[in-house]
Structure 1
Amino acid sequence: MSKLLVSLTGLATAGALALGAGGTQAAPTTVLPAGHAFAAKLTGKATFVAGSTTMTCTVSASVPTGGANNAVPAAPGNHNDAGPVSVPINPPGFSGCTTSVFGVSVTITSNATNGPWKLTLQNGAPAAGGFTIPKGGVVLKTGGLASCTITASPTGPTTVDGGWTNGAPSALAIANAPVPATATGGFLCPTGNQSATFSATYQLTDTTDPTRQITVTG
């Protein structure tokens, strides 16, 4: 059962729709179209794995609600001569989640209580992207055979890195990204620090002008 709960910890870390462009050279980056709003939506399934246990979610999205979140900065803020461009986003939601262990349910909530969620994009060969999850930005609660509370990024922001591909639509692919979490609860719940991996692909679409694409260039 402890392996199950560690895998559920992985789910919490995932909500974490947070990110970074670590491991790439600081090439100049421009995100286009300047000033356009965008939505980031899961395509396929998000997979959380720890040990032999797997959890999948079929729905996840961060969508614009007005303001600066989920909007490419207006020029010249959409360009950085010395590295990546970061954009604040609304906390992504997760639903349609199931676990491979019988008798355990999962509820996930995301928040920006301790800081903003961010999308960071870095031009390069290849281009990179990721989400930044603020401290405590995702809370996962299990029910049924095991009742636990799992908090992602318990001590500070966490980056979840991936690769970026320009396209129609463009996509951010995250594969086996590690995220820390802390679990508390009663019998059958692990305590202290936990870790797992998260994999998912998000498509970014221009909601200001659906005929345009969100692209990363130099």
Structure 2
Amino acid sequence: MFAIVRYKKYGLIRFLSAIETSNAIERNLRRSGLPLIMTEGFHQKVKVSYLDPVPTGVINLALYVRIAFKNKVEALNKLKRTSLCGLYPVKLWWTEMNMNRLVTSYEFRLIIPKSSVDISRYDEEKPLEVPEKRKYGLVKDFFHQVSFDFKGDFAVIKYLQPKDKMVHAKYLYESILNRRDGFLLIECTEAFCNERPLSEILEESSWDTEC
């Protein structure tokens, strides 16, 4: 029996690595006292799976975790009581759905002072090289549906990234910066299954939810 929990990772906790984040979530699960299914072997671990990690420092509002349970119980409130500050379980869906087989992309939001950017410099046809991942292409190959909006003194840039072409947001924003001493915030806001948000599909496929 499986449940998918949506966590929010924010504050200083966003600087934890992917491994440190998974360790923190598994400690949360163990402390909750829930009837979890464990892996086999001498060093047993909680049987969980995660979506693709986002870069360190990114606020993740769509940290979905698939957890194996021995039986159905009221789980979310227990997870909330034992969660780490900055790594908070928001909602739970009871479902057999395997999210990793469905998710195709992730939605991000970049917030930066309006005075720090010149969006006229943005060129989706610009060649892009990501040496640390040995990936090459055009900006539009890595960043889809890029949109710019202005709210007060800030520019809000939204975009999608295919799960097989996840790269740091710096490869998008560095070309449009006209100063480098300003505030900058990056959020992962949702996982998408083709054109549909994962949360929407979970609402349809689950037989029970907790929030």
Larger radius of gyration between Structure 1 and Structure 2: 2
State the TM bucket, normalised to the shorter chain. Answer: under 0.3
Report the TM-score, using the length of structure 2 for normalisation: 0.28
Report the TM-score, using the length of structure 1 for normalisation: 0.27
The answer to which structure has the higher helix fraction is 2
